[in-house]
């Protein structure tokens, strides 16, 4: 393994190297380490910089704490002899793997290098990722993947597909055991998109990242559709339409900043609690410490039951100052999910948004909230719910696309969650949607109702009056645009995996 400080090592002059001596062997090692930093030469790096991007290594250095990165398998090369590949064996084989720290907390990481075979995955490339995945689980560290690659390395044949499968399997087995975060930094196609989709959070970069199974040329040939790469799989497509991206960053540094903030709410693994930070302790009775902003909660709810209000205003006044990180803000905007802190303790927030479809639950909102609830449950994060829901959104489109089974996912998520759950009913809690949104009889630990709360089978003006009255009243979002994706494991899956391996038990096999 190689420390980040090795990048200053200079290769010894070639004529002095005698690999039959200790000095010669050390000189050869330094030479190879230096070569591994620029496996395909400086010209390729200049082309990356010309596009406004960072190289695979620079991305790791930008994300991790300074001088904390320790590289694994830096000198690995592919073993293929097909199609003349034996004459082109760059060190590292197109992916940089290792571990380091973020804000002093251990993480494992890999970064794909698009300058080596276009970032395509071969046998050794895949083995390096599998190895760092298994290290992350065995040591109980979050895993961060920086993705920038173009699918399988066709010169190596089916073996590439086999390594994809091993990576996917490890993603699945690690789900709910350690946090898994994917950053998409370029065009990811084919098999390169499935691993990010299996992780807990996906971060993309505006106008730089794309994800798709088949590219525009194939779509044009098969279906006749004309579509650009950005329209097909750009960040905003996966933010607003597919729900695959959690956050669309304005640039690479913004993406790294988001990941660092996200990790501050998450524990290293499911055996530990999330980090807690010191919070100011008020002196004297609570009533004497209320601010003008706190008192505004008394007037936020309109007198008219059909008049919308922004639930963000409620959430941010209850959480610690500047402590709300919204997830999936651009997707299913009729429900709000994200992380915050109350007295320094991380909590997950689930809240109906009256400015969008009057806060009605629909297909996308149900799945979005269910995934988030299960993520919080996996990583020991208490859940606080703010309820203002007149019901499920009616319509044939909702029924035909499975509102029954998809709405049931949210029921299941709340029903199986064992973390503390607190529900605050701010206004409407009607019908089946009342049951779904963390009701008392669904096992919520504490239920609170504001004086404006209305709990009923339906509203006085009929079951859907609220939805139709304010579904067209929408306001643009200004919060950070982020989107939840991936699959968090159920308790049963976690139990099965935990019997195989404890993240804190060194040396335990992951197979």
Distances (CA, A) of 22 to 14, 30, 230: 15, 12, 54
Token pair for 243 = 């729900």
Name the active-site residue from 186, 190, 340, 459. Answer: 190
> By CB neighbour count within 10 A (0-12 exposed, 13-18 middle, 19+ buried), where does 119 fall?
buried
**Nearest Cα residue to 199 out of 185, 183, 213, 188:** 183
Name the active-site residue from 191, 233, 407, 459. Answer: 191
215 flagged as catalytic: no
Strands 105-112 and 95-102, how do they pair?
antiparallel
432 flagged as catalytic: yes
For 100, the enclosing helix (H) or strand (E) is: strand 95-102
Name the active-site residue from 330, 433, 459, 486. Answer: 433
Name the active-site residue from 251, 344, 402, 432. Answer: 432
151 flagged as catalytic: no
> By CB neighbour count within 10 A (0-12 exposed, 13-18 middle, 19+ buried), where does 283 fall?
exposed
> By CB neighbour count within 10 A (0-12 exposed, 13-18 middle, 19+ buried), where does 21 fall?
exposed
Q: Across-strand partners of 201? A: 181, 484
Token pair for 134 = 């298994």
Q: How far is CA 290 from the centre of its chain?
A: 35
How far apart (Å, rounded) are the C-alpha atoms in residues 456 and 454? 6
Q: Answer whether 141's CB lies under 8 Å from 268's CB.
A: yes
Work out the end-to-end distance of the chain between its first and last CA atoms, rounded to an integer number of angstroms: 23
Total length of the chain: 511
348 flagged as catalytic: no
How far apart (Å, rounded) are the C-alpha atoms in residues 267 and 486? 18
> By CB neighbour count within 10 A (0-12 exposed, 13-18 middle, 19+ buried), where does 273 fall?
exposed
Q: Is 96 strand, coil or helix?
A: strand
Alpha-carbon Rg for the chain in angstroms: 25
Question: Which residues are catalytic, by number?
Answer: 190-191, 432-433
């Amino acid at each position: 393994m190689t420390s980040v400080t090795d990048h200053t090592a200079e290769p010894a002059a070639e004529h002095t190297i005698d690999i039959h001596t200790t000095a010669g062997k050390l000189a050869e090692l330094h030479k190879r380490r230096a070569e591994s930093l620029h496996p395909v030469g400086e010209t390729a790096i200049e082309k990356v910089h010309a596009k406004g991007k960072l190289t695979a290594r620079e991305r790791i250095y930008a994300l991790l704490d300074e001088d904390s990165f320790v590289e694994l398998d830096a000198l690995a090369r592919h073993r293929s002899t097909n199609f003349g590949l034996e004459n082109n064996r760059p060190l590292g084989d197109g992916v940089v793997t290792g571990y380091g720290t973020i804000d002093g907390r251990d993480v494992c990481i890999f970064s794909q290098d698009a300058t080596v075979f276009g970032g395509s995955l071969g046998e050794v490339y895949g083995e390096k990722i599998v190895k760092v995945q298994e290290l992350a689980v065995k040591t109980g560290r979050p895993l961060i993947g920086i993705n920038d690659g173009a699918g399988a390395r066709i010169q190596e044949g089916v073996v590439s597909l086999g390594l994809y499968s091993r990576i996917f399997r490890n993603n699945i087995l690690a789900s709910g055991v350690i946090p898994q975060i994917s950053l998409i930094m370029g065009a990811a196609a084919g098999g390169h998109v499935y691993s990010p989709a299996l992780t807990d959070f996906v971060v993309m970069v505006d106008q730089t990242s794309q994800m798709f199974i088949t590219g525009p040329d194939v779509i044009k040939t098969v279906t006749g559709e004309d579509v650009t790469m950005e329209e097909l799989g750009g960040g905003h497509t996966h933010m607003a339409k597919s729900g695959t991206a959690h956050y669309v960053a304005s640039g690479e540094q913004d993406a790294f900043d988001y990941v660092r903030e996200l990790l501050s709410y998450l524990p290293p693994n499911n055996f530990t609690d999330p980090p807690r930070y010191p919070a100011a302790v008020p002196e004297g009775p609570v009533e004497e410490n209320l601010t003008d902003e706190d008192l505004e909660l008394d007037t936020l709810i309109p007198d008219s039951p059909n008049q919308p209000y922004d639930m963000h205003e409620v959430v941010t006044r209850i959480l610690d100052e500047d402590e709300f990180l919204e997830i999936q803000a651009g997707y299913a905007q009729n429900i709000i999910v994200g992380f915050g802190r109350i007295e320094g303790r991380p909590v997950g927030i689930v809240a109906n948004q009256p400015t969008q479809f009057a806060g009605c639950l629909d297909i996308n909102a149900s799945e979005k909230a269910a995934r988030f609830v299960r993520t919080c449950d996996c990583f020991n994060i208490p859940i606080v719910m703010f309820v203002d829901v007149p019901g499920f959104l009616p319509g044939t489109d909702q029924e035909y696309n499975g509102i029954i089974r998809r709405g049931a996912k949210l029921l299941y998520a709340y029903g199986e969650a064992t973390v503390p759950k607190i529900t605050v009913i701010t206004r409407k809690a009607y019908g089946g949607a009342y049951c779904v949104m963390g009701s008392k009889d669904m096992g919520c630990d504490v239920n609170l109702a504001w004086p404006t709360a209305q709990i009923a089978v339906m509203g006085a003006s009929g079951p859907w009056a609220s939805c139709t009255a304010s579904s067209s009243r929408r306001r643009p979002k200004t919060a950070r645009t982020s989107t939840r994706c991936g699959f968090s494991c159920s308790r049963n899956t976690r139990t099965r995996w935990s019997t195989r391996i404890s993240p804190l038990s060194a040396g335990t096999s992951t197979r």
